[in-house]
Structure 1
Amino acid sequence: MNIAGYLTLIVVVIDKTAAVSLLTDDNVQNSTNQNLVGVNGQNVDVFRQLLNQETIIRMTLVKNVHALMKDMLTLKENLAVAEQKISVLKTEVQELKLENHVLKNESKVHSRRLSEMERNVTQVSEKHEVFQRNIDIERKAFELNVSDILADIKIEVRYLSITLLDLNAHTRQIESDIPDIMDQKILAMFESVNSSLENFNATIAATDNKFSVQLSDLENSHSGVLSTVTGYMNKTVDSLKVELKDAQIEQLKLSSTVTSLEMFRMNLTNTKCDLQKKVAFTAGVTSTSSTWNSGTLVFPVVINNIGGGYNPSTGVFTAPTEGHYVFFVTVVEYSTQYSRVDIVLNGSSKVRTIGDNNAAYQTGVNMVVLRLQQGDTVWIGHNSGKGYFTDSIPITTFSGFLL
């Protein structure tokens, strides 16, 4: 029930109380007493009962009035609290109105920004479409260029394969010809020695025959000159003894020469066997670079690669056998861009070259002797600077061989 209803109920109760009170006030009591003079005893009992009932009703109404008064006080307190809450609510409503106004302004700003973002997104999407079309065109052109380049590379690879096959065939031909050449030289040397020995033996035989003839002629000579011949023969015998000794010495020399030739032949045979253990390579670059600035310097042009230890695709030499190796590098710096490279063993730099930039095309060279185990790797690594210079006949090179 609201406040207006409570107030109406109180007014109605007060009116009823006032109407009923007319039965018990002094004036009414007196009139009743006056009227009782003319009535009988029965009616008196009725009036008494009515008075009792009126008293009970009045007391009940008083109690109800007190309760209503308490309710009024409670209502007043609740009304004060409600008014405070209403004032607070009014304040909050005012604040909400202000916030609503601010939110409306912010909503307008956000709407403008959203419209601008939509326009920007539209422009970006349009630019993206144009960019995508350009990318597609450039990609197609790149694919065409790449296909052309790949075709050229395939042709060059075929030429290189043919060249490598020719080189391998030539190398195999040389390797097969080396034993024949060595055998021919050894046979020619032995034939020359044998002919020399035969000539020497013929010379000795002719000398012996000559001396025999001379001795026969001397025995048939005149006895008068016997003493002279005897003395002469003695002298001649002495000289012959000397010549025979010389001939024996020459024969000994020839024997030692034959022994030396046999040893030489054995050494040649051993050398022929050792040729299979030889390791040596030289590689270079024939294209100048002004941008190379990291990693391994690859020397793709192989001039010689005995033992197959050098890989022209990676620029890395792998030792096919253990031993002491000598490595030599030459790097010409590009223009005045400065250049420093290292000879690297298994990732550890051993020596370094410097091509200074105080003048153009300075040359950096260095050499190192390294003890390698089978499988060790050596390469030329970048240290600082940029680029290198070379020519169609390699200037920047990398070499190595087994001692």
Structure 2
Amino acid sequence: MKALVCILLLLETFVSVVQQQVDGGLNENEISQQISSEDRRQNPPQTDTLRAEASTDSQQCCNLEISNRTQSQVEELRKENRDREIAFSASLMESGDGNFGPFTTEITITYKKVFTNIGNAYNPFTGVFTAPLKGAYMFRISVFGHGGTGSSASIFKNGQRVISAHDIQAHDRLNSSNGVVLILEVGDVVYVRLWSGMRVYDSENNHSTFSGFLLFPLREDNLCRM
């Protein structure tokens, strides 16, 4: 009987010790969880960092693409603007002074002293302007003369008279000017013709001139609305 009591006391003591160890310590799962948590604290996940790096790379690529497109557009605009740079201005006499005319028939005036010829559309050897671009163009002429005969000239487009500058005076000096806006197709020509029996005078003061420039280019739909 005493032996049985001793055995029961030993079992109770053993159970108590084991229970204290369990209550005061951590089981295997808790230990594993604690180790895992500690590992995460020491080595945080890289997901956010990777996402941030990917976002930065994507933004840089996007910025580069936008920059390339912008540069390309700028170059296209520059080329387009260069194509639209069309203007000229010239006077009759390249040097000295004197009269041009009179003649028995109308004759094309060659304005030889070129002040401006942006786009090289005006030819000083023929006096002809050739449109390199479809558009609306402004042209102007001025004529000057001395009394005794008239000073008269006309702007022609493709062989057709458009406008004239005309003055006749018996004595002293005379001058006249006129201008017009013309719609030109590529290859259309514009020039000035002196009237039969008339003359124009020029000197270093550049009295008699012919000028023109592109106001703006035109497309087919612009012409349809006019």
TM-score by length of 1: 0.32
Task: Give yes or no for contact 1:290–1:334 (8 Å, CA) kept in 2.
Answer: no
Count, aligned residues: 139
Determine the structure 1 residue equivalent to 2:35.
none
Q: Deviations over 1:167-200 (max 9, x none)?
A: xxxxxxxxxxxxxxxxxxxxxxxxxxxxxxxxxx
More strand by share: 2
Give 1:368's aligned amino acid: V
Task: Give yes or no for contact 2:92–2:208 (8 Å, CA) kept in 1.
Answer: yes
Determine the structure 2 residue equivalent to 1:400.
212
Determine the structure 2 residue equivalent to 1:354.
166
Query: Are positions 1:288 and 2:70 aligned together?
Result: no
Q: Deviation at 1:292?
A: 3.2
For structure 2, the residue ranges without an aligned partner over 5 or more in a row are 1-69, 216-226
Q: Deviations over 1:260-298 (max 9, x none)?
A: xxx9xx889836741332110001122321633331011
Determine the structure 2 residue equivalent to 1:278.
85
Give 2:134's aligned amino acid: E
Q: Deviations over 1:50-99 (max 9, x none)?
A: xxxxxxxxxxxxxxxxxxxxxxxxxxxxxxxxxxxxxxxxxxxxxxxxxx
> What secondary structure does 1:328 align onto?
strand
- Tell me, in whole angstroms, the C-alpha distance in 2 between the residues paired with 1:302 and 1:290: 17
Task: Give yes or no for contact 1:334–1:387 (8 Å, CA) kept in 2.
Answer: no
Give 1:292's aligned amino acid: P
Structure 1 residues 322 and 290: CA distance shift in structure 2, 3 A: closer
Structure 1 residues 376 and 272: CA distance shift in structure 2, 3 A: closer
> What secondary structure does 2:201 align onto?
coil
- Tell me, in whole angstroms, the C-alpha distance in 2 between the residues paired with 1:318 and 1:372: 9
Determine the structure 2 residue equivalent to 1:245.
none
Pick from 164, 169, 183: which aligns with 1:371? 183
> What secondary structure does 1:389 align onto?
strand
For structure 1, the residue ranges without an aligned partner over 5 or more in a row are 1-262
Bigger Rg over Cα: 1
Query: Are positions 1:314 and 2:126 aligned together?
Result: yes
More helix by share: 1
- Tell me, in whole angstroms, the C-alpha distance in 2 between the residues paired with 1:352 and 1:274: 32
Q: Deviation at 1:312?
A: 0.4
Task: Give yes or no for contact 2:136–2:214 (8 Å, CA) kept in 1.
Answer: yes
- Tell me, in whole angstroms, the C-alpha distance in 2 between the residues paired with 1:270 and 1:359: 54
> What secondary structure does 1:274 align onto?
helix
Q: State the identity as a percent.
A: 32
Q: Deviations over 1:109-144 (max 9, x none)?
A: xxxxxxxxxxxxxxxxxxxxxxxxxxxxxxxxxxxx
TM-score by length of 2: 0.56
Pick from 99, 109, 112: which aligns with 1:297? 109
- Tell me, in whole angstroms, the C-alpha distance in 2 between the residues paired with 1:316 and 1:338: 23
- Tell me, in whole angstroms, the C-alpha distance in 1 between the residues paired with 2:100 and 2:208: 13
